[in-house]
Amino acid sequence: MLSKSQARAFFLIGTALFSALFIGLTVDTVRQTAARTNEQNLSDSVKRGKLIWEKNNCMGCHTILGEGAYYAPELTNVVKKRGAEWIRTFIKDPEAMFPGERKMVKYDFTEDEITDVIAFLEWVGEIDTNGWPPEPDLKAPTVVAAAPGSPQIGDAPEKYRQLCVACHALGGEGGNVGPALDGVASRYDTEYLNRWLADPAGVKPGTTMPKLPLTDAERRELVGFLGRLK
């Protein structure tokens, strides 16, 4: 059992030791902040985007870096996952892409304001979080072998590379939210693909496929491309 003097010494030495450790860790964290947050990339557009984020209380629904609400999707790496053009299209009119489903407010931002929001989200996604959160240990998606001579992403129309690639993979490249499109023409004819792109929910009620804002010409171009994926 410690005497009073020993207990006092133990308390004082322990307090001093852990206080020094805490101060050292704090100084080290502050020293690394500029590099790990890519401070050099804090452009005026990023700063304006952050102001728009705060002014419209986006964290009332979304989270970034684990901070915010959990009503809507986490957005830390949304630019990497979806791409800037997909996000731009969605922000312009959320419900147009998901009729009767999405509850996100249509803010009527200008093109410049949307650009600033995307710049802010892109900057957030580049912050070095020291590997947190870890990637989920999931089974790698199966890649369907494309037929010899079948078109690949590099041959795709611009709208495919801007929007479709955010959710669908082709030749192992792209997102994994929706099914891979390798060999899609061997499963569906061009008439079906045209109806699907024009109104996904009309073909399959409850589908998570968004209704993309495509012109007739853009839709025909996409159908032509998909129709060659055998």
Long-range contacts of 8-17 (CB under 8 A, 24+ apart): none
At the fourth CATH level, the homologous superfamily of domain 153-226 is Cytochrome c-like domain (1.10.760.10)
Question: For residues 132-141, b (16+ Cβ closer than 10 Å) or e, as one string?
Answer: eeeeeeeeee
- Residues 75 and 189: their CA atoms lie apart, in Å, by 36
Superfamily designation of domain 41-125 = Cytochrome c-like domain (1.10.760.10)
Query: Residue 152's pLDDT is what?
Result: 83
Region of residue 211 (left: phi > 0; alpha: psi -120 to 50; beta: else): beta
Per domain, the residue ranges of the chain are 41-125, 153-226
Q: Average the pLDDT over each of 78-82, 129-133, 220-224 and give the range with the smallest value.
A: 129-133
Is the pLDDT at 143 greater than 80? The verdict is no
Calculate the average pLDDT of the chain: 90
- As a whole-number percent, the residues of the chain with pLDDT over 90 amount to 70
Quick check: 182 pLDDT over 60?
A: yes
Mean pLDDT within 24-37: 91
| CA distances (Å), origin 119, targets 45, 166, 192 | 6, 18, 37
> What phi, psi does 49 have (nearest 5°)?
-65, -40
